[in-house]
Homo-oligomer: A and B are copies of this chain.
Amino acid sequence: MFDFHLEAVDGAARAGRWTLPHGTVETPCFMPVGTQGSVRALSPNDLEAVGAAIVLANTYHLFLRPGEQTVAALGGLHRFMGWPHPLLTDSGGFQVFSLESLRRVSEEGVEFRSHVDGSPRFLTPERAVEVQWALGADVAMAFDHVVPGGASREAAADALERTVRWLVRCRERFEALGRGAISHQPSASGGRPSDGRRPTADGCRRQTLVPIIQGGTYQDLRRASAEAILGAGDWDAVAIGGLSVGEPKPAMLEVLDGLDPILPRARPRYLMGVGFPDDVIRAVARGVDLVDCVAPTRMGRNGTAFTDDGPVNIRNAGHRDDAGPLDPACDCETCRTFSRGYLRHLFVARELLGLRLLSLHNVRYLIRLAARARAAVADGNFDGWSRAWLARYQAKEQA
């Protein structure tokens, strides 16, 4: 369980297969984000139809509403969401550090006010692990201290060191939960244990804890972070956090270039929060295996569709009488069924179906893009394929 099998490598780009308790994930892989336990406007059936292998949910949001006790009482996150395939929960670190004025950070953890009802809340490494254990996703993330893209060297160093200390605390609590030394009652009224906490007949682990590399845009700090994490234990995967948070685009790519040689080849690498098509391809070119982002659903709700020729704004008047599909190369329900003219009408007339159809297409686009990258790696042609793809994607933008 949690084994990663590297099937092919082409330059720094990789094609692999990650075995998780609820299924196998072929990499490179784009993970759609179900912030509050629902990928906006999409159903589990839609996600299966577009080929999603693993879905992400946000611990911060589910902790506040409906609360992990309610999710556990309703059978755990898989059953709650109606998604029997792999799931990953983030730790809440990114969200609480985004609250700026609403939070207070100490070595113990982060005090903050709920954006839902203003109530005071406290997340610690231990609590973040407990909440994720109750949710029961296949993959849980360590609680990290995230700094903005423009953070000073001091702030970045301080945050990365705290993240390492917190990682040790996360692992201690995670192991204690795994041994059954700490029981986490799902709810006062009873309820079924979630998948994550249910002991398996074969004694297999049902959840893994993944550490997050921090260090801002400072190459030496990133290296120090990676070395400290890798020295602290053997992890099933390694995540790269604190990127795509406002830093210049080249700085992110430099960090990825610097990390690639020192990260273990035999473990999947997850770049958090990246999901615009060109960023995904550039990340895969630098050894990244997994990415997640709300971009495809958020852009879809705004009427923007990803295509190989760059983003298309479906609201444009030029699409009014266009009987052609949104993306002739796409095999999703939206592109197989509807004309650009109809999709434009849905957005102009503010019909809910429009939000869903463009979200569906964008998620399918990114999943298919990752699969195309995978095929190119397997064919030993990733460099040529990705250069051609990037040139076409950016051609209109540059014209």
Contacts and interface: CB of A to CB of B under 8 A. Distances in A.
A70 interface: yes
B70 A38 contact: no
A36 B345 contact: yes
Contacts of A341: 66, 70, 73-74, 80
Contact of A38 (B41, B320, B323, B353): B353
Contact of A355 (B61, B187, B349, B352): B352
Interface stretch (A42-50, A232-240, A257-265): A42-50
B36 A321 contact: no
A348 B65 CA distance: 9
A339 interface: yes
A37 B74 contact: no
Given A82-B338, A337-B44, A321 B187 contact: yes
Contact of A36 (B41, B65, B323, B351): B351
B66 A345 contact: yes
A159 B341 CA distance: 38
A346 B337 CA distance: 28
B352 A41 contact: yes
The oligomer's copy count stands at 2
A346 B42 CA distance: 12
A41 to B, nearest CB: 4
A81 B341 CA distance: 10
Contact of A82 (B42, B342, B356): B342
Interface string A339-378: 1011011101101110111000000000000000000000
A241 interface: no
Contacts of A337: 43-44, 82
Contact of A70 (B189, B321, B333): B321
Nearest to A116: B349
A80 B342 CA distance: 6
A191 interface: yes
A352 B349 contact: no
A156 to B, nearest CB: 34
Contacts of A344: 66
Contacts of A323: 73-75, 191-192
Contact of A333 (B43, B75, B338): B43
A40 interface: yes
A75 B324 CA distance: 11
Nearest to A43: B353
A353 B55 CA distance: 16
B348 A66 contact: yes
Interface string A172-216: 000000000000000101011000000000000000000000000
Contacts of A40: 351-353
Contacts of A61: 349
Nearest to A342: B80
**Which 5 pairs across A and B sit closest by C-beta, in order of nearness?**
A41-B352, A82-B337, A74-B341, A38-B351, A36-B349
